[in-house]
Amino acid sequence: MADQLLIAGRAFNSRLIVGTGKYRSFEEMRRAHEASGAEMVTVAIRRVNLTDRTKESLLDYIDRKNFFILPNTAGCYSADEAVRTARLGREVGLSEWVKLEVIGDQQTLFPDTEELIRATKTLVAEGFVVLPYTNDDLIVARRLIDAGAAAVMPLGAPIGSGMGIQNVANMQILRERVTEVPLIVDAGVGTASDAAIAMELGADGVLIVHFLAASRGESAQNCQCRNHLPSNHSLVPLLPCRNIVPRF
């Protein structure tokens, strides 16, 4: 298939990545994933029950024959914490791939780019395939690529805001200058038209979490473009901010 998303040598037929947060139930999440047509699902390592496999887990509702699991380090506020979380995900068999998140501000969930670059260098050296969530800054993107990132995932707007791509100029600059790795818009997509705009600007893919969950199981393609998520500058993190990752 010619029009594939290629990341670190792996091909995906869909350019949509979906998440697991904000659904009312695991069953609703499963239906939404199937309707979306996506092939990659990002899962917060901190949301997965890694100790007691006898209890219900969101992983029970993801068919790993049809979906590639991309663990993420949501809720981490330092490079060391993110690295420990990524290691934990790999050790329990989730994946050696990681959507790397190092948050710098609890309210906006903007990334701490200095810590993000440091964590990327460490994880790449340990054999991880790293897809970092970052801002729309070209210099940061270049440094992440130099550190070995397999893709760059700039935010279009704050996580969960549904505001769409707020800085079109920066996204265009990123597209013109980032050619070695895929460019995937990671946050702020609030409508199907927002996703279309991202692709028209040249993004290689789009990650959608809140919008798809808010659609209550409908596919992103079928949702009415006018049904925009309410814009929200004061955001609630998907995960608690307390440190629950063991130090090892």
What value does the mean pLDDT of the chain take?
86
Query: Is 64 part of a structural domain of the chain?
Result: yes
Query: pLDDT tens, 6-60?
Result: 999 999 999 999 999 888 899 999 999 999 999 999 999 988 877 777 788 889 9
Domain annotation covers residue 126 = yes
Residue 228 located in a structural domain:
no
The number of domains in the chain is: 1
Contact status, residue 207 vs residue 187, Cβ threshold 8 Å:
yes
Confidence category of residue 216, pLDDT binned at 50, 70, 90: low
Q: How confident is the model at residue 1 (pLDDT cuts 50, 70, 90)?
A: very low
Per mean pLDDT, which range of 67-71, 85-89, 143-147, 243-247 is the poorest? 243-247
Tell me, yes or no, whether 125 lies in a domain.
yes
The answer to whether residue 164 sits within a structural domain is: yes
Other beta carbons within 10 angstroms of residue 216's beta carbon come to 12
Check if the beta carbon of residue 166 is closer than 8 Å to that of residue 157: yes
Question: Does residue 4 fall inside a structural domain?
Answer: no
pLDDT at 228: 44
- 99 is a catalytic site residue: yes
168-206 as b/e: b if 16+ CB within 10 A:
eebbeebeeebeebbbbbbbbbbbbbbbebbeebebbbb
Candidates 22, 55, 65, 99; catalytic one: 99
The rounded distance, in Å, linking the Cα atoms of 215 and 70 is 22
Return the pLDDT at 139.
97
Say what the pLDDT of residue 79 is: 98
Parent domain of 23: 15-222
CATH number at residue 152: 3.20.20.70
